[in-house]
RNA sequence: GGAGAGGUGCCGGAGUCUGGUUGAUCGGGCUUCCCUGCUAAGGAAGUGACGGGGCAACUCGUCCGUGGGUUCAAAUCCCACCCUCUCCGCCA
């Protein structure tokens, strides 16, 4: 959520920044207008309240001095003021609710360096590593769903029997490799990140802090009976770890990581990418996350990206980095970069990580602040996160990239320690 | 799920029965200063967040789990909900 004070003092700049995303200013202007109204109401309300307090003290004094009969007049005046105050307070609250619900829907401002663009097609490729379109043999040009089924390690037919379409099931060495990927990702980041195993069913407040609610409720699984939501990513619980807290600057950056299942309804994607492991309602992912000061954030963004890219590199997969343009930026994102892995069997670039800087947008929703060392007062922290490794698409790219002419798949060496001795799948 | 106890400031812990100058006694912690060769001990002062108004000094308001209600006035009385603890039940 944007800082209301910034909207108040710098409306034009905010409007221009939103325009870069292709966002209309209607809601913004409405917030600006409501804010002025609410502040006028506050002034009047506070004045009435202050007077009530003074009158109450007067009554108390009169009672104490045994002159209770003289208290009738101030009591009556106070009663009257109380009604005025209540009406003003209710009106201010109504306005406040409208402001909040608008603010929750207005997206974040893009970082000045975010490239212009209207959509995905305008996202500039920043870097390409290990990709040679002519360097793949026929044995690698087989989609992973065929490879997986042939090797008996992917059984989506039975997954559908168990849970319906758009679920996947890995078996044998395939399941082992899925877990090994998580272990590798955690171990590689344990140098700087505290491992957390958070709840993956969360309250509406938690899902609102990161931006999924209220606007994207259809994308998440909701357990109505208990009013809990299945997390779409560990970003959701991790961002709420310090919700409502004030951190010491010395504690920043606070780096957390978590391996969790991720649940997505894929409401807008029905019928898309239905084969294999490209898109499913449930998958495992290792997320890396940080609370930081504004000054620490740019370097952290680079570090998160380097860590995500480093893992893909380690697994011997061709990949590229794409910067998300203003028009394609997610609602909460201030700046964002995607890592895409090349899958030769599908002949597609698959998004396997999204590394993002949210500035104070999520932290203001979550009310996470810090006390600047030496300074007074508090500041809203910045949050950043990225997928260290999202299992399914990496798993798919491994099957396609490391398939050998004889149809077997070589397990990348960094996974061996976690594979119970399995070094190839045949 | 049932029964009971409880949620107060950075922490501990009063105040709630008997509503009233209580943003809140007291202790600890922390910060600054004084004393001290150093340490320990001691002395003094300070010590929250949020919102509004004001060029500013400053000032007004809100916050005692959350949300309502009663009252001139609520940490204190009433209602609902949430959370924690103990016991029982259930359970990996």
CA of A250 to C1' of B44 (A): 30
Nucleotide nearest to A64 in CA–C1' terms: B20
C-alpha closest to that of A209 among A29, A367, A376: A367
Quick one: tokens of A133? Answer: 């379109």
CA of A95 to C1' of B74 (A): 26
Give tens-digit pLDDT for A29-62: 999 999 999 999 999 999 999 999 989 988 988 8
Residues linked to residue A262 through DSSP beta bridges, in sequence order: A283
Between CA A41 and CA A90 the distance in angstroms is 10
User: Would you state the torsion angle of the CA atoms of residues A247, A253, A257, A263, taken in this order, to the nearest 10 degrees?
Assistant: 70
Residue holding tokens 């070094």?
A423
Residue A63 scores a pLDDT above 90: no
Q: Cis omega before residue A187 (within 30°)?
A: no
CA of A148 to C1' of B86 (A): 54
A320, A129 Cβ separation under 8 angstroms? yes
Question: Who has greater pLDDT, A69 or A355?
Answer: A355
Listed by start position, the domains of chain A span: 4-103, 120-425
Nucleotide nearest to A246 in CA–C1' terms: B49
Residue A224 scores a pLDDT above 90: no
CA of A374 to C1' of B45 (A): 20
- Give, as ranges, the nucleotides of chain B with any atom within 7 Å of a protein CB: 20-21, 49-53, 60-62, 68, 72-73
CA of A125 to C1' of B67 (A): 51
- Locate the DSSP E strands across A40-106: none
Nucleotide nearest to A83 in CA–C1' terms: B72
> What is residue A264's predicted lDDT score, i.e. its pLDDT?
95
A279, A272 Cβ separation under 8 angstroms? yes
Rounded to the nearest 5°, which phi and psi values hold at A382?
-105, 150
Q: Residue A419: how many CB atoms within 10 A of its CB? A: 18
CA separation (Å) from A234 to A241, A315, A389?
11, 23, 12
Which numeric CATH code is attached to A120-425? Answer: 3.30.930.10
Residue A340 scores a pLDDT above 90: yes
State the CATH class of domain A4-103: mainly alpha
* Structure confidence at residue A270 as a pLDDT band (50, 70, 90): low
**Residue A22 zone, left/alpha/beta (φ > 0; ψ -120 to 50; rest):** left
A379, A246 Cβ separation under 8 angstroms? no
Between CA A362 and CA A297 the distance in angstroms is 14
Contacts of A257 (CB under 8 A, 6+ apart): A186, A189, A190, A193, A194, A195, A196, A286, A287, A288, A289, A388
A380, A364 Cβ separation under 8 angstroms? yes
Quick one: tokens of A360? Answer: 């104070």
Q: Are strands A194-195 and A254-263 parallel, antiparallel or unpaired?
A: parallel
Between CA A355 and CA A323 the distance in angstroms is 10
Give tens-digit pLDDT for A187-218: 999 999 999 999 999 999 999 999 999 999 99
Burial class (CB in 10 A: 0-12, 13-18, 19+), A316: middle
Mean pLDDT within A242-260: 92
Nucleotide nearest to A8 in CA–C1' terms: B52
- Indicate the pTM of the whole model: 0.94
ipTM: 0.88
A202, A229 Cβ separation under 8 angstroms? yes
């Amino acid at each position: 959520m944007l800082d209301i004070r910034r909207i108040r003092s710098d409306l034009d700049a905010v409007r221009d920044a939103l325009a870069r995303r292709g966002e209309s200013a209607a809601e913004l202007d409405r917030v600006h207008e409501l804010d002025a109204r609410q502040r006028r109401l506050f002034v009047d309300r506070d004045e009435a309240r202050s007077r009530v307090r003074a009158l109450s003290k007067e009554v108390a004094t009169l009672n104490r001095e045994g002159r209770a009969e003289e208290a009738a007049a101030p009591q009556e005046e106070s009663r009257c003021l109380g009604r005025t105050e209540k009406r003003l307070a209710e009106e201010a609250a109504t306005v406040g609710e409208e402001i909040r619900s608008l603010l929750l829907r207005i997206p974040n401002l893009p970082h000045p360096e975010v490239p212009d663009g209207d959509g995905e097609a305008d996202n500039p490729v920043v870097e390409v590593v290990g990709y040679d379109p002519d360097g793949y043999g026929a044995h690698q040009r087989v989609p992973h769903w065929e490879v997986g089924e042939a090797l008996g390690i992917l059984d989506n037919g039975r997954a559908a029997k168990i849970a319906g379409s758009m679920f996947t099931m890995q078996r044998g060495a395939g399941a082992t490799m899925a877990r090994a990927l998580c272990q590798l990702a955690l171990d590689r980041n344990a140098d700087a990140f505290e491992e957390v195993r958070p709840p993956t069913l969360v309250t509406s407040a938690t899902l609102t802090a990161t931006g999924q609610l209220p606007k994207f409720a259809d994308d998440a699984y909701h357990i109505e009976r208990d009013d809990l939501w299945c997390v779409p990513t560990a970003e959701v619980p991790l961002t709420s770890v310090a919700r409502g807290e004030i951190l010491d600057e010395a504690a920043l950056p606070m780096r957390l990581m978590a391996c969790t299942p991720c649940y997505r309804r894929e409401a807008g994607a029905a019928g898309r990418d239905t084969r294999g492991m490209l898109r499913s309602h449930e998958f495992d992912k290792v997320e890396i996350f940080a609370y930081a000061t504004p000054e620490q954030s740019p370097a952290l963004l680079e570090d998160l990206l380097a860590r995500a890219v480093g893992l893909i590199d380690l697994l011997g997969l061709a990949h590229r980095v794409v910067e998300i343009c203003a028009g394609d930026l997610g609602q909460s994102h201030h700046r964002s970069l995607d890592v895409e892995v090349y899958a030769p069997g599908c002949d597609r670039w698959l998004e396997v990580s999204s590394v993002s800087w949210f500035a104070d947008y999520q932290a203001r929703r979550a009310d996470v602040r810090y006390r600047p060392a030496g300074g007074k007062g508090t500041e809203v922290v910045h949050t950043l996160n990225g997928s260290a490794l999202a299992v399914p698409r990496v798993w798919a790219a491994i099957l396609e990239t490391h398939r050998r002419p004889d149809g077997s798949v070589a397990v990348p060496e960094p996974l061996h320690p976690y594979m119970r001795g399995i070094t190839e799948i045949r």
